[in-house]
Amino acid sequence: MKTYIPVIGLEIHAELKTKTKMFCGCLNDPNETRPNINICPVCMGHPGTLPVANKAAIEQMIKIGMAVGGEIPATSKFDRKNYFYPDIPKGYQITQYDVPFVFGGNLKGVQLTRVHLEEDTASSIHQKDATGNEVSLIDFNRAGVPLMELVTEPCIREVKQIGEFGRELQLLLRYLGVSDADMEKGQMRVEVNLSLGTIVDGELKFGTKVEVKNIGSFNMAERAAEYEIKRQREILEKGGVIDQETRGWNDPGQKTVSQRKKESSHDYRYFPEPDIPPIDLAKFDLRKLKAELPELPAQKRVRFADEYGLTAGQVEVLVFDRPLAGYFEEVVSELKTEVDESRVASREWKKMVQLAVNYLTSDLKGLMISAGIDDPAKTKVTAENLADLIILAADDKIGSRVAKDVLKKMFESGGDPNVIIKEQGLEQVSDEALLIPVCQQLIDANPGPAADFKEGKEAALQFFIGRAMGALKGKGNPAVLQKLFRELLTK
Ligand code: ADP
Ligand code: MG
Ligand code: ZN
């Protein structure tokens, strides 16, 4: 039996976040719910109107090109792609054919072919009218919104890379501030091209590709790819051939269905857009645009690992949550100003940084999620107060259970943890003279577990520590308790 190797390439569209549309002055407002509000003769395709290219959209394309390490040509141009469909009233779409704004580039190990700029189509709404007839309505709010299309080389071999790449691109576009790239809102759309390759004379020979559209999420994209691999393999194993076609993902049926046999580019009669002069990219201030690039996800990963010694998993959580990452850095810088320099150089420092990550990514984040807050800076917990809490915990002034309770209080009503702890008498108890009576009482009251421990059952020790913590309302120092129980139980 032959071995089939999946060959996958992606085409991803994303609406750019500009003030106005691509070729007219209409607002580009993805949140407009009333149909046909942001429209004009240009984006409605009226005869005699002239498009004017949006400079801000082109600048965003340049930034995308720089961020993926692509080549930006000296001049570029727009072209007409001719086809008839009600959502494209001019009878053609203005797009880019042979000279996109970005050639090549690389993201998350995936080689890019190109990134070009085009106009989005109107949206069609299919519904029943008052008399029950099926009608199609067209909303032109989206028509003419700047849309980038990124095409990858057919270099993806594993289905899970589809989601990894897609999420990385989404993250990059958000970092760059060029798109919200929300798939649920249709701001980002992915098409999967897939064939099964075979090894011929030691080389991978691609098969006939199928393009899958109508995909609403990265999960769907991966399921569509899995389905296609299975479908195509079954056809090939029976000696059949794969039709080059466009298929649609049918999510309720969890399958792809044929939509149309594939057209090729000459069907679209591409030609240069005569109403827009070629774009001279030398006229753009590339140095300024470069300087405006933020720290990119890949750079942040390296810096967070180096500077803070975080694990790959911790880095990933923070890279995907920019507000939390920014706040984390503030907390660390507060810690630096509050503790001695010698401590920053010591091994203890790493423990404090770890406490900061843990309090942020689990405790504070949990509280934020239940309160519906997306940015820690919008909570009552200041970075300075959180740094104080971390110092209290690192110095064993409070135990971990108490620290969580104090953080909750800080979240609810704000305030300095030192004050909260004093007011509520929550300091950790490490004084042996205070702890010994509590321990002895528990040992006397629980002869069974005490005997177990003497017979070598270590679990009995945890039982006693847990009971003591309960009696002390979480304020006991667990290390001291452990030492005391060992001594008292073996006496
Ligand atoms: P088209 O002209 O039909 O749009 P392209 O060559 O531009 O085709 O490729 C479109 C997408 O299909 C790209 O993402 C590319 O990586 C992918 N692709 C091209 N050939 C194959 C193939 N044989 N198998 C799988 N994917 C492919
Ligand atoms: Mg294509
Ligand atoms: Zn318009």
Q: How far apart are CA 349 and CA 382, in angstroms?
A: 20
**Atom number in ligand 1 closest to CA 154:** 16
- Of residues 75, 162, 76, the one with CA closest to residue 116: 76
pLDDT at 418 over 70: yes
Nearest CA to ligand 1 atom 7: 151
* CATH number where 471 lies: 1.10.10.410
Q: Are residues 386 and 437 in the same domain?
A: no
**Atom number in ligand 1 closest to CA 11:** 14
Q: Are residues 85 and 227 in the same domain?
A: yes
**Atom number in ligand 1 closest to CA 7:** 25
Q: Are residues 169 and 66 in the same domain?
A: yes
Q: 110-119 and 102-103 as β-strands: parallel, antiparallel, unpaired?
A: antiparallel
The fraction of the chain above a pLDDT of 70, given in percent, is 99
Cα(11) to ligand 1 centroid in Å equals: 9
Tell me the pLDDT tens digit for each residue of 179-211.
999 999 999 999 999 999 999 999 999 999 999
Q: Where does a domain end: 291, 326, 353?
A: 291
Q: Are residues 313 and 181 in the same domain?
A: no
Q: What distances in angstroms separate CA 467 from CA 146, 425, 428, 478, 482, one per listed residue?
A: 64, 20, 16, 11, 12
* Residue 92 near residue 294, CB atoms below 8 Å: no
8 CB-near residues (< 8 Å, 6+ apart): 154, 156, 157, 159, 161, 162, 192, 193, 194, 225
Judge if the beta carbon of residue 413 lies within 6 A of ligand 1.
no
Judge if the beta carbon of residue 195 lies within 6 A of ligand 1.
yes
Q: Are residues 208 and 330 in the same domain?
A: no
Find the mean pLDDT for residues 413-432.
89
Report residue 434 as tokens. 């205070």
Q: Total domain count for the chain?
A: 3
pLDDT of residue 262: 67
**Atom number in ligand 1 closest to CA 10:** 14
Judge if the beta carbon of residue 209 lies within 6 A of ligand 1.
yes
Q: How far apart are CA 105 and CA 264, in angstroms?
A: 25
Full 3-state SS string of 198-225: EEECCEEECCCCEEEECCCCHHHHHHHH
Q: Where does a domain end: 258, 273, 291?
A: 291
Judge if the beta carbon of residue 153 lies within 6 A of ligand 1.
yes
Q: Are residues 69 and 53 in the same domain?
A: yes
Q: Where does a domain end: 291, 308, 325?
A: 291
Judge if the beta carbon of residue 100 lies within 6 A of ligand 1.
no
pLDDT of residue 399: 83
The fraction of the chain above a pLDDT of 90, given in percent, is 86
Rg for the chain, CA atoms, rounded: 31
Kindly report which listed range (39-43, 53-57, 453-457) carries the lowest average pLDDT score: 453-457
Q: Are residues 285 and 303 in the same domain?
A: no
User: CA 84, 118, 178, 172: dihedral to nearest 10 degrees?
Assistant: 90
Residue 386: alpha-carbon gap to chain centroid: 26
Q: Are residues 337 and 201 in the same domain?
A: no
- Largest alpha-carbon pair distance within the chain? 100
Q: Are residues 283 and 202 in the same domain?
A: yes
pLDDT at 106 over 80: yes
pLDDT of residue 228: 98
Q: Are residues 10 and 28 in the same domain?
A: yes
Residue 75: alpha-carbon gap to chain centroid: 33
Judge if the beta carbon of residue 194 lies within 6 A of ligand 1.
yes
Residues with CB under 5 A from ligand 3 (ion): 24, 26, 40, 42-43
The ligand placed nearest to the CA atom of residue 28 is 3
pLDDT of residue 428: 82
pLDDT at 257 over 90: yes
The single-letter DSSP state of residue 240 is -
The chain-wide mean pLDDT, for the chain, equals: 94
Q: Are residues 261 and 302 in the same domain?
A: no
Tell me the pLDDT tens digit for each residue of 334-367.
999 998 888 888 888 999 999 999 999 999 999 9
Q: How far apart are CA 354 and CA 293, in angstroms?
A: 29
User: CA 227, 229, 233, 234: dihedral to nearest 10 degrees?
Assistant: 0
Q: What range does the domain containing 170 cover?
A: 5-291
Residue 197: alpha-carbon gap to chain centroid: 31
Q: Are residues 401 and 440 in the same domain?
A: no
Tell me the pLDDT tens digit for each residue of 262-311.
677 778 999 999 999 999 999 999 999 999 999 999 999 999 999 999 99
| Predicted structure pTM score | 0.89
**Residue position matching structure tokens 């070629």:** 278
